[in-house]
Amino acid sequence: MRTSPNIIITGTPGVGKTVHCEQLAQETGLKHLSINTVAKERGCHDGYDEKLKSWIVDEDKVPIFSFPYYYLLDEIENEVAQGGYLIDWHACDLFPKSWIDLVVVLRCPSTSILYDRLASRGYGEDKLQENLDAEIFEVLLDEARQAYDEEIVVELMSENDDEIESNCSRIVSWIDAWQQNRTTTDG
């Protein structure tokens, strides 16, 4: 049985997933697991999309250097099964329900703020528009709500530093309660 929870921190690119994960990792000791990094380093991708300037992550991709062959989920299963991970990715529906204790969907509904964040990363117009549309239409929030039980999906705003601090504090409190509940239930 896990003694620390697994939490997905998801949302449209530019909403602050990595910032939240890094701060939470420092505050809680949970490990930051960037799916983009895993896919790149372990070969779970279909190459680089020059137009969108990003790796094409493929959860079904077989890395050519692995034997036996593994898929993205196989690559992280042993780690995540132990618990204690902050899973950082812009999608969440591929992770099995049994792995996940909380899904945090970060939102930045102010398109001007999100646009500025993405533009500062050098995103091209196609990628900017694709991500702004995803945020406007709540694509990732809907995905999370369809993939996981309602009670573990939390939507948090992430437009400024105060909201990031408040979000992290709220998540830390949730982690403490989760761990306390495990101790009480097991003891």
* Count of structural domains, the chain: 1
167 is a domain residue: yes
Q: Is 124 annotated as a binding residue?
A: no
Q: Is 28 annotated as a binding residue?
A: no
Average pLDDT value for the chain: 89
Is residue 4 in some structural domain? Answer: no
Does residue 166 sit within a domain? yes
pLDDT at position 86, please?
Answer: 98
Does 14 show up as a binding residue in the annotation?
Answer: yes
Alpha-carbon radius of gyration of the chain:
17
E strand or H helix at 173, and its extent? Answer: helix 161-186
The residues with which 8 forms a beta bridge, in sequence order, are 87, 103
Task: Flag whether 2 is marked binding.
Answer: no
* Residue 19 annotated as binding site: yes
Is the confidence at residue 103, as pLDDT, over 90? yes
65: confidence class by pLDDT, cuts 50, 70, 90: very low
Residue 124 included in any domain: yes
Write out the residue range of the structural domain in which residue 168 sits: 11-39+86-176
The pTM for the full model equals 0.88
98: in domain: yes
**Is 114 part of any domain?**
yes
Q: Is 117 marked as a binding-site residue?
A: no
3 domain residue, yes or no? no
Question: What stretches of 29-160 show up as alpha helix (H) in DSSP?
Answer: 35-41, 72-81, 111-120, 125-136, 139-147
Q: pLDDT tens digits for 9-64?
A: 999 999 999 999 999 999 999 999 999 888 778 777 677 777 766 667 665 544 44
Look at residue 154 and tell me if it is in a domain: yes
DSSP 13: T
CATH at 146: 3.40.50.300
Would you state the structure tokens that stand for residue 85, as one six-digit string?
Answer: 């991970």
